[in-house]
Amino acid sequence: MNPHISPAPEAPAASAGAAPLKLRRVAIDTYRENVAYLHRDCEVYRAEGFQALSKVEVTANGHRILATLNVTSDPRIVQCHELGLSEDAFAQMGVPPGHPASIAQAEPPASIAALHRKIDGERLGRDDFHAIVRDIAQHRYSKIELSAFVVATNRGELDREEVYFLTEAMIASGRRVDWHERLVVDKHCIGGIPGNRTSMLVVPIVAAHGLVCPKTSSRAITSPAGTADTMEVLANVELPFDRLGDIVREHRGCLAWGGTAHLSPADDILISVERPLSLDSPGQMVASILSKKIAAGSNHLVLDIPIGPTAKVRSMPDAQRLRRLFEYVAHRLGLSLDVVITDGRQPIGHGIGPVLEARDVMRVLENHPLAPQDLRQKSLRLAGRLLECDPDIRGGDGYAIARDILDSGRALEKMRALIGAQGARPFDVEHPALGALSFEVTAPRAGVVTAIDNLQIARIAQMAGAPKVQGAGVDLARKLGEPVAEGQGLYRVYAAYQSDLEFARQACLRNSGYSLGEPGEVPHVFVEF
Amino acid sequence: MNPHISPAPEAPAASAGAAPLKLRRVAIDTYRENVAYLHRDCEVYRAEGFQALSKVEVTANGHRILATLNVTSDPRIVQCHELGLSEDAFAQMGVPPGHPASIAQAEPPASIAALHRKIDGERLGRDDFHAIVRDIAQHRYSKIELSAFVVATNRGELDREEVYFLTEAMIASGRRVDWHERLVVDKHCIGGIPGNRTSMLVVPIVAAHGLVCPKTSSRAITSPAGTADTMEVLANVELPFDRLGDIVREHRGCLAWGGTAHLSPADDILISVERPLSLDSPGQMVASILSKKIAAGSNHLVLDIPIGPTAKVRSMPDAQRLRRLFEYVAHRLGLSLDVVITDGRQPIGHGIGPVLEARDVMRVLENHPLAPQDLRQKSLRLAGRLLECDPDIRGGDGYAIARDILDSGRALEKMRALIGAQGARPFDVEHPALGALSFEVTAPRAGVVTAIDNLQIARIAQMAGAPKVQGAGVDLARKLGEPVAEGQGLYRVYAAYQSDLEFARQACLRNSGYSLGEPGEVPHVFVEF
């Protein structure tokens, strides 16, 4: 029905429109949620009937963004004639301070109906996921709505077809790189194992062989160091995307932070709520990892799923279920995927924390006598798998070729080239810049190391300051199955600040992360790849 | 294992502790989420390795609160030696600005493990719900965690035993009033029907009879007016809790805003995320309503569940399922509950919006010839049901007694007493202060009104400015089943600002909320109570 609408005879002429507001940058970091600030006495605020936590649409110079409204009575934050935007939001507008801007009640994101269906437990279709992810990437979801989406799609709430739709939508939300190469390879680990810096060895080995491996990594999300944090000890990792492309074309690889590349940007926004909730469901993990890799232009991926009592995946049936989900979605998206299930019973290498891990990596590359053998072996195996996707390499020969590249120094040479191209930072493998404060944790009795708790060791390294404090972390002196005498060191904790040292010491006192016992008590692992 | 922890021989003496920060009130309203602000160059921020969206614990003068950390580089918000707190958070500390304060990484709330079990779909026990609700009431949950809880407990995710535990925990989270009366009655509607202001008639009728009815109401959550908003046209509704108690003891009733009473405070916090998500699942609705009523000291409640195509409840089986859930939880908590299922096919009364609804209520109390009969009848029926919980009144006699109280003017007299006690505001029922701007929506053709969309009429009233602009709203000229000629008025929209008027006009053009047709097309309703 189209109603007839007539002005009331007594209606006065339209009142003059309110003067436009002036845009102001409010220097508050609100972490990927756009926030707009209005003064409580602002005429527009009073007139429009905005409600608490209203979503508003801010328009300036033809650009429009959505933001959550906060109200202030402090004119030093915004004055009555101003419209404040948090740092990220202001940057998105792309106009100078003082530019005229208008604000209006935002219509709810178009995909909210689909979100509600998901909350109600329904299965969503391809268009639903594309609509939701598009709204997320355009900052149309509040943190509250993001959390609702993350919880509603957690665990068993997404079937594999839905995970495929979600992944596809996340790829479509950002840039997709085309390297114009037949083979573009990458490796990735689902995470959870401290010290597991194999990428920094696999990339130089594979690139030295000649395969293209444009590795972009995250910073630590819940761990004491991500590959980007550790690489940052050796080189600049925040490179403009065009510069990254040049490096990859010249050197066949890179080891950079992925944040500048606008690859699967919806994923970065979802992580901003998954992290504080400590949620990492299989469906979200698959969509996050595969969308980033495919957007980065990879067509062949080796995926590392560590398994162990304190790893993310704790049983072989769980690992196999996760493998099948990765394989299903990768196949639908045309990505060649090789899943390896690895030993995740303990940290890899000795050091945990950016500087300590960089030291381990460089020791392996330099064939140093103190190089951690587990890090070396695992990296060679993963690099071997990747090399075998080269049609000129026979299945089974990859490991030996990788070992030759490492032992001959060609991997070290390639790493030095990458470091130089990205912008080298001073680093001395014999005298790494560790935190000036430290303490040692020693064995209360003689025995054999029967367990090392990945989560607790990671927590101690974080409390000591990693990854923010590059030289902070944990340096393991004993690994699984090794004997130790009473009073001998198990590990040393490094920190730069006394308060961090004390936090870490308290954590060690509550739980050192080590168990000692008899040799027969060391858990076996049946994963060999 | 208790490890031996020894300081490293080379460890220097403890560095001097950082100077304490000075507390500062940051005048930003962050809506029930505590936010702490640190300057990016603050020594503590740099040293502690706080992460994005870290939860921090702020301590001053022995008080501790939890907050989410935002980081700023604007010294006008906080300087390097200051620790800023958002308005609510600052008020909770109860110390003056400049007071020394310290900040530390917060341990996650103890109940987060239970929250994760609920996210995973497990059934929680009584202790889990008490722990979660306690943490929520103590502001230990971030908005992200609150959303996660609300989504994880939505729809079928709570069984009735869990709803009971949740309700009980919400009561325990705040004040519980004891009126020292045998009978303390209340009425409540689950909401969703514009103009449904029966409380403002039921309370004076029941209180005039002598029953104690301490009615505290919410402001509008998703509607164009809550009872508190409409009552505020006539009287002050924000009263200190002690003053409320005095009024109830003297006048046997009140009509006040419940926000000052600290009744079920966890509910208010949960609503702050349920509202933007538009979530109102049966379990959350039952826990919210019953916890507030029991905390307010009521022992007999009449609950109104309207049913209709655009009401919250749309079918009789759904209404019966909701009734059983209310009854189960009420019984477990010792509350006598009388559920009535009512006609929710259209708005109640003529006016929608605070002033218009106040006019309708006063017209009914004054037995005015223009009084809306549907509002009068429904209020008399509900009041009759409540009166019958008086053991001196025979079942079936309540309605006639209520009618006598209304027709005789005793209800009006009681209402005037309540208005006077709370603090009267000027109101002239013959000349209510409506918005100066208006337009009429007329019938595009002759016919009978066959449907009025509650949601669309509410939306139009909200766009016109209600409830923030008291005189804004919608005044219905025709109700269901009434005939209308082409060009005759269906309703008039009132607004105070031109922009609001235009928003509302656009909404009416998209969908007027009215359907016209043949008399036989008016939907029947089989609810009579």
Instruction: Taking residues B238-248, report their average pLDDT.
Output: 92
A33-63 tens-digit pLDDT? 788 999 988 877 766 656 555 678 899 988 8
Distances (CA, A) of A52 to A39, A434, B143, B276: 13, 48, 14, 9
Nearest to A230, CA basis, from A391, A365, A355:
A355
What is the distance in angstroms between the Cα of B1 and the nearest Cα belonging to chain A? 7
What pLDDT score does B142 carry? 83
Using CA atoms in the order A235, A237, A238, A240, what is the torsion angle rounded to 10 degrees?
100
Given the structure tokens 């060391």, which residue do they identify? A522
Task: Supply angle C-alpha A353, A354, A357, rounded to 5.
Answer: 80
Best residue of A120, A498, A503, A509 to probe chain B, by most B CBs closer than 10 Å = A498
Instruction: Taking residues B123-127, report their average pLDDT.
Output: 96
User: Does B41 lie at the interface with A, CB-CB under 8 angstroms?
Assistant: no
In angstroms, rounded to a whole number, what is the distance separating the alpha carbons of residues A140 and A106? 9
Of A4, A48, A439, the CB nearest to B499: A48
Nearest to B206, CA basis, from B263, B256, B257, B254:
B254
Of B8, B119, B439, the CB nearest to A439: B8
Of B55, B70, B444, the CB nearest to A2: B444
Mean pLDDT, chain A, as a whole number?
90
User: Does A431 lie at the interface with B, CB-CB under 8 angstroms?
Assistant: no
Structure tokens at A401: 């070729």
Q: Name the pairing type of β-strands B336-343 and B300-307.
A: parallel
ipTM above 0.85, yes or no: no
- Cis-peptide, bond into residue A467, ω within 30° of zero: yes
What pLDDT score does B98 carry? 93
Element (H, E) at B143: helix B143-152
Buried b (16+ CB within 10 A) or exposed e, A412-447: bebbbbbbebbeeeebebeebebbebbbbbbbbeeb
Tell me: pLDDT of A212 over 70. yes
Of A276, A497, A516, the CB nearest to B144: A276
Mean pLDDT, chain B, as a whole number?
90
Is A392 noted as a catalytic residue in this protein?
no
Nearest to A183, CA basis, from A350, A387, A46:
A387
Q: How confident is the model at residue B112 (pLDDT cuts 50, 70, 90)?
A: very high
What is the distance in angstroms between the Cα of A189 and the nearest Cα belonging to chain B? 23
In angstroms, rounded to a whole number, what is the distance separating the alpha carbons of residues A377 and A382? 9
The answer to whether B262 and B144 have CB atoms below 8 angstroms apart is no
What pLDDT score does A126 carry? 97
B44-56 tens-digit pLDDT? 776 665 655 567 8
Q: Which residues of A touch B442 (CB under 8 A)?
A: 3-6
Nearest to B84, CA basis, from A124, A55, A77:
A77
A81-132 tens-digit pLDDT? 999 999 888 988 889 999 999 888 777 788 999 999 999 889 999 999 999 9
- Cis-peptide, bond into residue B467, ω within 30° of zero: yes
Total residue count of chain B as it appears in this document: 529
Element (H, E) at B401: helix B398-407
Q: How confident is the model at residue B17 (pLDDT cuts 50, 70, 90)?
A: very low
User: Does B28 lie at the interface with A, CB-CB under 8 angstroms?
Assistant: yes
The interface residues of chain A toward chain B in range 46-75, judged by CB-CB distance below 8 A, are 47-49, 51-53, 55, 70-74
Strand-pair partners of B258: none
Tell me: pLDDT of B5 over 80. no
3-state DSSP percent of chain B in helix, strand and coil, to 5: 40, 20, 40
Q: List, edge to edge, every strand of the sheet that includes B514-517.
A: B483-484, B447-452, B514-517
Element (H, E) at A28: strand A28-29
User: Does A144 lie at the interface with B, CB-CB under 8 angstroms?
Assistant: yes
Q: Which residues of B touch A487 (CB under 8 A)?
A: 4
Nearest to A211, CA basis, from A203, A223, A219:
A203
What pLDDT score does B106 carry? 79
Q: List, edge to edge, every strand of the sheet that includes B437-442.
A: A4-7, B437-442, B489-495, B473-476, B351-352
Chain-centre distance for alpha carbon B368: 31
Distances (CA, A) of B302 to A352, B527, B529: 63, 16, 12
A113-126 tens-digit pLDDT? 999 999 988 999 99
Write out the E strands in B127-252.
Answer: 185-189, 213-217
Helix extents (H) in A237-295 = 241-251, 265-277, 282-295
* Beta-carbon count within 10 A of B518 CB: 9
In angstroms, rounded to a whole number, what is the distance separating the alpha carbons of residues A207 and A213? 6
Distances (CA, A) of A247 to A418, A526, B119, B192: 8, 40, 44, 61
What pLDDT score does B503 carry? 86
Assign B475 to helix, strand or coil.
Answer: strand
In angstroms, rounded to a whole number, what is the distance separating the alpha carbons of residues A20 and A81? 8
Nearest to A219, CA basis, from A272, A177, A174, A183:
A272
Of B48, B77, B515, the CB nearest to A77: B77
Active-site annotation holder among A128, A135, A280, A453: A280
Best residue of B142, B497, B501, B511 to probe chain A, by most A CBs closer than 10 Å = B497
In angstroms, rounded to a whole number, what is the distance separating the alpha carbons of residues A72 and B25? 11
In angstroms, rounded to a whole number, what is the distance separating the alpha carbons of residues A208 and B92? 60
Structure tokens at B228: 């508190």
Give the residue on A whose Cα is nearest the Cα of B18. Answer: A499
B426-476 tens-digit pLDDT? 999 999 999 999 999 999 999 999 999 999 999 999 999 999 899 999 999
Active-site annotation holder among B128, B135, B229, B280: B280
Task: Supply angle C-alpha B341, B342, B343, rounded to 5.
Answer: 140
Q: What is the pTM of this model?
A: 0.82
User: Does A19 lie at the interface with B, CB-CB under 8 angstroms?
Assistant: no
Give the residue on B whose Cα is nearest the Cα of A74. Answer: B27
- Between A and B, how many CB-CB pairs are < 8 A? 247
Structure tokens at A199: 């990428």
In angstroms, rounded to a whole number, what is the distance separating the alpha carbons of residues B98 and B87? 15
